[in-house]
Chain A
Amino acid sequence: MANFLGESYMDIDDPEVHEDNDVDMIIESSSNKEDDKERNFWKGSTNAKPDKFEIEEGSLELLRVFYKRFFPYKTYCYWLNYSIDPMDKPFQNREFNFVKPGDDEVYMRYLSFDTIEEFKNEVLRVCPKKIDIGAVFTAKPKEKKSLKLSALKPVEKELIFDIDMNDYDEFRTCCSGATICEKCWQLIAVAIKILDSALREDFGFKYLLWVYSGRRGVHCWVCDERARKLSDDERKSIASYLGVIKGGAQQNKKVHLYKNSLHPSLTRAHKIIEEYFERVILEDQEVLKDEREWTKVLECIPDDGVRRRLDDDWRKNSSRHSTEKWDNLLAELESSTKMTKKADSLRVCKIEIMLQYLYPRLDEAVSTKMIHLLKSPFCVHPSTGRVCVPIIPEECENFNPMVVPTISSLYNEINDYDRSHVKNDGERSLHDYEKTSLSPYIKYFDKFVQSILKETLAKNKAAMQMSMEF
C-alpha cells in the first residue's frame, strides 16, 4: 500500500510519535527475541541447584581469560577504524555498549574510546557479558553529557542484517525454542547464501562479514564505504527490497508475487532454493508429514478446490512420503492452471511457497536505523558461552554451531596446551588463539580486515595523487 507520497519509503512521519528515534528502546527490541526460557550459561544446568556464588565466579573467570588471551583487540580496532594506527574518528566517535556481567541487565551506554589500549583496559576491567557496536557519531559518545542534545548525530555505520531462527519457528519442526541442530541450521545457511549473493550482485557490496550470533542466528556486517555512508531512508529501501516475507501471526500466506515475471533477484533466490528445498524443507522439516504442518502449506494456495482435493488425498494417504505429496501439489497446480481463471496466481504459487519457506526472514528494524546497536563479533553469547565467530558464506552449510568454541572449551584447550607443550629453540611463539580451535576464525577475520585496509589505503593513495596533480 503506497499512498500519494509513495509511502513505502517516504512515509508519513507522525510528528507525535518518535519511538523510532529512541535509542534506548532499540536495545529492547533486539534482545527481547530471547523471551523464552533458556539454559542460562551463568546459572549452569537447569536441573542442579549449584552454589550461585561459586558458579558465577567461575564463569566470570572464564570470561576474563577469554578477554585477556583470545580477543583480537588490534585487528578489531583496525577494522572499526578502517585504518591502522593511529585511531581516528571512525573509532573514537564510535558508540559501544557493554552489558555488565551478572544476572541483571545493566547497560553501560555511550561508551567510546580513544585508543586500542583504552578499549582493551576497559573490557578487561568490566568483563562485559555482551558488547554491542553502534554508529560513528559527530562527536565522542563518551562526552555525551557535556554536549548539546543535537550535537551527537550518527554519521556512518555498517549496513547490518539479522537473521534469527525465531522467525522460522512457525514451521520449524526439528527443534523448538532456543535449541538448534544441524537440520534447522540449514534454514539459516540457505538464507545466508541468498542474502550474500543479493548484496554482492544487486548492490555491488564487497566486504561482508557474516558472524554467528552465538546461539541460533547470524548477523551480517556490510563494511563497504558506500554502505557505511547510507542514510536511514536508503537503508530502509534496501531492507524493503530484500523483504519478501511479509506478515505476522495472523497472515498465513506471506509471499505475494503480483506479477508473472519474477524480479531477477528473486529468480536468483529461487534457483538457490531449488537446490535445497527437497532435502531441507520436505525431508528434514517434514512440512507435509502431518495435517497440522501441511495445512500451513495449503493455505498458501489461493484456490479452494485445489486445497480441498490435496487435503482429502493426503488425509487418506497420510503416510505417503513428503516428496511424493509435493509432487501431488505440483501436479494439482499444473492441471488447475489449465482450467480456472486464477491460472496466473496458481502458476506463481509454487514459487511463492518455496520462497515463503526458504527466503531469508529479516528483521527490517535492525537494518533501518544507523543508531541500532548490534552484538559485536567475537564477544560471547551470555546464554551459551559460545564465541560469536565469523562464518565463511561459501561454506555456511557446513558450519556446525554445536562445535563453535565456548569460553570454557577454550579455557580447557589453552590449559592443555600450556601443560603439555614444551617450546623448542627457534620455534616462533604462537599467539594464544593459534593454540586452540579459535585459530581459523581469527585468521579469517584478520584476512577480512586486511582486505578492507588495503582498499582504504589504495583509495587514500589515489585521492592524494589526484590532489597532487592539480
Chain B
Amino acid sequence: MKLRDTMERNIRIFLIFIVCLLLKKLPLTNLKASLLIDYKALEGAILRNKSEDDVKKYLEETSNKWLPLHSNESSKAYLVQEERRKDHISHFILRLAYSRTEELRNWFLKYECALFKLRFLRENPTEKQAFLNDENMRWKSLNQAEKKLMKEELNACSIPITTDGEFCDLFEIDFEKVPDLVARRAVYLKEGKAYVPVTQQLSLVMYEFRQRLAKALELASKSFITLRNERIMPMLDEIIKQYDGRTQTSNYSVINNPIADNVHQLVDHFPLCMQHLYQNLCENHHLKHYARIQFNLFLKGIGLTVEESLAFWKKSFSKVDEDKFQRDYAYNIRHNYGVEGKRQDYKPLNCMSLITKHRPNSGEIHGCPFREFSQPNLKAKLVQMGVRNDEHIREILNLAEEEHYQVACTKYFEITKGLLDKNNDSIIIETIEHPNEYLNASVLLEKNRKKMSNKDK
C-alpha cells in the first residue's frame, strides 16, 4: 500500500489525470460507487457502535467485494497494480468532489482516515516500516539512558518492556501530535513533550496522514473555483448527491400541530432522557442551560412552533417573572428555532450527540440516563418508571454497564410498551437512535393498538 506523495501535492496533475480518464471513457460508475460503498459501510458500522473488530470485518467483506486491495506480499496472486490504480483514481475523484465545502471536507477526511487506519493495521510490520520510511515519518527516539531517567513515570504509564528487560522504543513528540493519547491520559507528558511507545505508533501515523490530507483538501477546494469543465462538474455533483454525508433525517413529527398544553399529555411517550428532564422541570420549575437545549429541541422535533414553545417554557418557569424570562431565557429558546443571531436551524439532538457531547458536570441532569446514571440510581429510576420484573431490570442494567446505551434504551422501550412475547423474546425493533424516534414509535404503537382494538369491537 503506497500513497503517491507527488501526486497528492500536485493538484494540476491529478486534474489532468481525471480529464484523461474521461477521454478514455473508463467505467467511472464502478469506481466511484466502490469507494462510496466502503465509506457507507464504515459509517453504518460506526454509527451502530460496532467494536473495532466488527468494523474491520465488515469493511474487509465490503472492500473485497467492491474495491479489493491486497498487500505487496500477495502480488503474485492478485493484480495488485490494477487494484491500486482503481483505488487511487476513486480516491482522487472523491477528493475533488468532496473538497467544495467544509462540511464535505470534514466528512471525507473522517472516513478516509478511518479507511487508512484499517488498511494500515492490516499490513505486516515489514510493510509498515517500508511505508513509514517512504513517507519520511521518523521521530526522535530516546536512548536507554534517557529512558532510565524516567523509569518510574514510564512504568506508571504502562510502557511495554521488551524481552531484554528494557523499555521498548520510545519517541519524544510534541503533545499536539497525539491528541487522542493525550485526551485519554494514556501517555506520559513532560514539559510539552509526549513520550510515545512504538506500540502507539499508529496515533502518530494517523496524525500525519490526517494533517497531510487536510492540507491537500484545502488546496483542492481552492482549485475547484477554477474548474469549469462541463463534463466533470455534473459528474461530481452526482457523486455528492449519492451520498452527501448527512445521516438520514427522518420526518420527525407524527403529531399534528401540537400546542404547549399537549406536552403534558405526551409524557408517557417520552424516552427516559426526556422524562427525567420533564420531571425535574415540573418539580423545580427550572432547568439548567444544556438541559433546556436538549428538551427544547426535542419539543421542536415534536412539532411545537416557536410560539408554542415559548408559551410552554413560560408556564413551566412559573417562578420567574415576565421580565426576567424575556431577558434570560426567551432569547435562547428563539435561538434554538433559528430566529435569532446566526439563525441556524438546529435539529433535535440524536442519541449519539446526547451520549457523547456536553457530558453533564456535577449538579447537571441532561444527557443520556443510561450513561449518566450510576447503576443504583438507574435501577431506582427504572422501578419508579414501572419496570418491576427483576430479570428485566438486570438486563437493562447490564446493557448500560457494557456501554450499549441505545440498546438499553430500546430494551426499555420494549419492556415498558409490552412488546415482549410470552417467552420474553422481543419482537425485533431497530435500535433507537433518536429521542424523537422513540416518541414517534410510541405514538404510532398506541395508534395502531387503538385501531386493532376498534376493529375487534
Chain A residues within 8 Å of B, Cβ to Cβ = 1-20, 22-25, 28-29, 32, 35, 104-105, 166-170, 201-205, 226, 230, 233-234, 236-238, 240-241, 245-254, 259, 261-267, 299, 361, 363-365
Contacts and interface: CB of A to CB of B under 8 A. Distances in A.
Interface stretch (B136-144, B351-359, B407-415): B351-359
Interface stretch (B186-194, B423-431, B447-455): B186-194
Interface of B: 45-47, 49-52, 55, 103, 106-107, 110, 113-114, 152-153, 155-158, 175-176, 179-180, 182-185, 188-193, 245-247, 249, 286, 288-290, 293, 327-328, 332, 335, 340-342, 344, 346-347, 349-350, 352-353, 355-367, 369, 371-374, 376-377, 403
Given A10-B110, A16-B347, A236-B183, A22 B341 contact: yes
Given A32-B289, A226-B192, A1 B157 contact: no
A237 B182 CA distance: 6
Contacts of A32: 288-289, 328
A249 B246 CA distance: 33
Given A24-B335, A251-B377, 6 more contacts: A17-B346, A24-B340, A25-B341, A204-B193, A240-B182, A250-B374
A315 to B, nearest CB: 19
A170 B363 contact: yes
Contact of B114 (A4, A167, A233, A262): A4
A248 B179 contact: no
17 contacts: A1-B371, A8-B180, A12-B46, A14-B352, A15-B245, A16-B249, A23-B342, A24-B340, A25-B335, A35-B288, A201-B191, A204-B192, A236-B179, A248-B363, A248-B365, A251-B377, A252-B377
Contact of A9 (B180, B193, B365): B180
Contacts of A246: 359
A385 B185 CA distance: 40
Contacts of A5: 46, 110, 113-114
A13 B347 contact: no
Contacts of B335: 22, 24-25
B327 A105 contact: yes
A11 B188 CA distance: 23
Residue among A4, A170, A226 with most chain B CB within 10 A: A4
A15 B246 contact: yes
Contact of B290 (A13, A14, A18, A29): A29
B61 to A, nearest CB: 16
Contacts of A166: 363
B357 A361 contact: no
Query: Lowest 10 CB-CB distances: which A-B pairs, in order?
Result: A248-B360, A204-B192, A24-B341, A237-B179, A204-B191, A16-B347, A240-B183, A237-B183, A202-B189, A264-B153
A264 B157 contact: yes
Contacts of A237: 179-180, 182-183
B157 A248 contact: no
Given A28-B332, A237-B183, A248 B158 contact: no
Contact of A24 (B46, B342, B347): B342
Contacts of A204: 190-193
Contact of B49 (A3, A28, A254): A3
B57 to A, nearest CB: 12
A163 to B, nearest CB: 12
Contacts of B369: 250
Given A11-B356, A29-B289, A204-B193, A16 B362 contact: no
B417 to A, nearest CB: 24
Contacts of B113: 5, 10
Nearest to A105: B327
A202 B191 CA distance: 5
B363 A169 contact: yes
A234 B335 CA distance: 28
B17 to A, nearest CB: 30
Contacts of B47: 12
B113 to A, nearest CB: 8
Nearest to B181: A237
Nearest to B153: A264
A249 B182 contact: no
A104 B361 CA distance: 28
Contact of A203 (B50, B189, B293, B350): B189
A249 B289 contact: no
Contacts of B185: 240-241, 263, 265-266
Contacts of B182: 237-238, 240-241
B349 A248 contact: no
A250 B179 contact: no
A2 B181 CA distance: 12
A105 B324 CA distance: 10
Contacts of A365: 358
Contacts of A12: 46-47, 110, 352, 356
B341 A264 contact: no
Nearest to A230: B176
B129 to A, nearest CB: 23
Nearest to B405: A1
A157 to B, nearest CB: 15
Contacts of B355: 1
Contact of B189 (A19, A234, A265): A265
Contacts of A226: 192
A231 B350 CA distance: 26
A169 B246 CA distance: 41
Residue among A24, A201, A266, A363 with most chain B CB within 10 A: A24
B44 to A, nearest CB: 12
Nearest to A356: B362
B362 A245 contact: yes
Nearest to B114: A5
A234 B190 CA distance: 17
A279 B277 CA distance: 38
Given A29-B290, A248-B360, A264-B188, A16 B246 contact: yes
Contact of B365 (A10, A167, A245, A250): A250
B329 to A, nearest CB: 9
B193 A14 contact: no
Residue among B103, B107, B192 with most chain A CB within 10 A: B192
Nearest to A254: B362
A28 B292 CA distance: 12
Contact of A248 (B192, B245, B342, B361): B361
A4 B192 contact: no
Contact of B374 (A105, A201, A253): A253
Contact of B364 (A20, A249, A267): A249
Contacts of B50: 4
A268 B240 CA distance: 51
B346 A170 contact: no
A121 to B, nearest CB: 28
Contacts of A105: 327-328
A250 B373 CA distance: 5
B158 A22 contact: no
A10 B110 CA distance: 8
Contacts of A19: 293, 346
B176 A234 contact: yes
A247 B347 contact: no
Contacts of B286: 35
B347 A9 contact: no
A249 B360 contact: yes
